[in-house]
A and B are shown apart, each in its own frame.
Chain A
């Protein structure tokens, strides 16, 4: 079976990452709940210290929903970079990749299995925590349509994949720390580029920034725009993925 070795490696790595998965779920959950609590109770807390906001916001479920996604988005970028910076570099530095690649597995199967299992480890906790945050809002404050939650999760999950794959690509050639640091620099540059009109298509941030506009500014749902943005972000994911495989195939271990 063509994909047998891929699935074996994937399952092995995913099981190996199970503790990371649980820990990250807790971290994301904590981040989301703190964000929601912040939205609803921050003003009350500030009053306790005789401090009032000049322009107090009106806490609502929608605001809390938008807040927790914007908070968790930045937190997730950091986690995705930190979580993948040693994906290949760790094995290459210790030499344990010699054991892995001397087994009967193709280099591309090995690389994709490692990347996909690690991305699942990063994205699943985010999805679990987002659903938990959504239920929390649903029961205590307001009802946010499930479709809005799903339409928000998809681009962010894809974006985290992009971050993870770029960092993995860097980790095939650099040490863990250099890969993580270089990745952050790349993302900051791309974030800056997304603010400039003619260059915005050169940044994957543009594709993700499209969704909040769609969901919260009462824009009508234009399916072509959705397809275009999903297509763009897929291209942003595919390019570093292909480069990672090529990089792994061409290097010596």
Chain B
């Protein structure tokens, strides 16, 4: 599978502040790429660089094998972008979309506008002024704007922000359908649960650095080998004396959560608990990891004791 976006050693400075630090990312064709990170991590900066709205200090950013710096016009014709920004409030939805249609030289513009508004459930409101819409409706207009010229790549910055649950569900299923048609989608979000439902690939960014990236399935599998839920009679000191145990905590059900180095198998831990730690085990299980667990594992310990951005 080819990569539609190739980012190599990308750095971005705002004056002396380094917003992105040597980022390397690849977005495969036809994938839904979830780009996660806390506020101020650098998600929007990366997405704006992809659309040519921000200049980058060093590195290479290629979309469809073309360097963004030199070919943003050609690239923008093949990409749809939803920024996390306000829209011109005195324009009607139709007029706003019409400009995108004209600049993309779309034939049968009216039909395309109708179709993309239908996709986001706003067909009846096309003559309403954007300023008179709710936040969620504006967001849907933005998505319709990104979809209007049937782009091969969608770059969506917080697509679900401000949407009600029904609209969220519809947008997520729309994105899934678009990916099935072969379109590539990169979306940033801090609503991890929703990205978890649709993303095929994930990258987590924190303080301008990619802390984790890969296929969604591989990432959670990788973490699943590290954390175990155990209950029974367990001697904490003995468990902590095992050199591969990295954490020992109690959860809300008073079970023990044992985190181990990722090369330790569940059989070895179980045997050691029984033989070396004299534990009487009632329950032993690998912890089911969600993307949210991965996110917190990668981010939370890093921000502990620091100012949260």
- A-to-B contact residues, CB < 8 Å: 4-5, 8-9, 12, 16, 91, 94-99, 101-106, 250, 252-253
Contacts and interface: CB of A to CB of B under 8 A. Distances in A.
Nearest to B75: A104
A104 B87 contact: no
A104 B71 CA distance: 10
19 contacts: A9-B103, A16-B91, A95-B86, A96-B85, A97-B85, A98-B48, A98-B53, A98-B81, A99-B88, A99-B96, A102-B53, A102-B81, A103-B99, A104-B103, A105-B73, A106-B73, A252-B55, A253-B48, A253-B53
Contacts of B84: 95
B137 interface: no
What's the dominant secondary structure at chain A's contact region?
A: helix
B290 interface: no
A247 to B, nearest CB: 13
A8 to B, nearest CB: 5
Contacts of A250: 55
State which size class the interface on B falls in.
20 to 34
Interface in B52-98: 52-55, 73-74, 76-77, 79, 81, 83-88, 90-91, 95-96
Contacts of B85: 94-99
Nearest to B78: A104
Given A96-B88, A99-B85, A104-B104, 12 more contacts: A8-B99, A12-B95, A95-B84, A95-B86, A96-B85, A98-B51, A98-B83, A102-B76, A102-B79, A102-B83, A104-B73, A253-B53
A90 to B, nearest CB: 9
Contacts of B76: 102-104
Top 9 nearest A-B pairs by Cβ distance?
Answer: A95-B85, A98-B83, A102-B81, A94-B86, A98-B85, A104-B76, A104-B77, A102-B51, A253-B53
A5 B87 contact: no
Contacts of B79: 102
A94 B88 CA distance: 9
Contact of A99 (B54, B55, B87): B87
A250 B53 CA distance: 10
A9 B85 CA distance: 20
Nearest to A8: B102
Interface of B: 14, 48, 51-55, 73-74, 76-77, 79, 81, 83-88, 90-91, 95-96, 99-100, 102-105, 142, 145
A174 to B, nearest CB: 17
Nearest to B80: A102
Contacts of A5: 103
A171 B39 CA distance: 29
Given A8-B99, A101-B52, A101-B53, A96 B87 contact: yes
B100 A103 contact: yes
A99 B87 CA distance: 7
A185 to B, nearest CB: 26
A119 to B, nearest CB: 20
A96 B53 CA distance: 12
B276 to A, nearest CB: 58
A12 B100 CA distance: 11
B43 to A, nearest CB: 14
Given A96-B88, A106-B73, A12 B48 contact: no
A55 B197 CA distance: 86
Contacts of A4: 105
Contacts of B54: 252-253
Contacts of A101: 51-53
Nearest to A250: B55
A94 B86 CA distance: 6
B264 to A, nearest CB: 46
Given A98-B83, A99-B85, A104-B104, A252 B53 contact: yes
A247 B234 CA distance: 67
A102 B76 CA distance: 6
A231 to B, nearest CB: 34
A250 B103 CA distance: 22
B104 A103 contact: yes
A12 B86 CA distance: 18
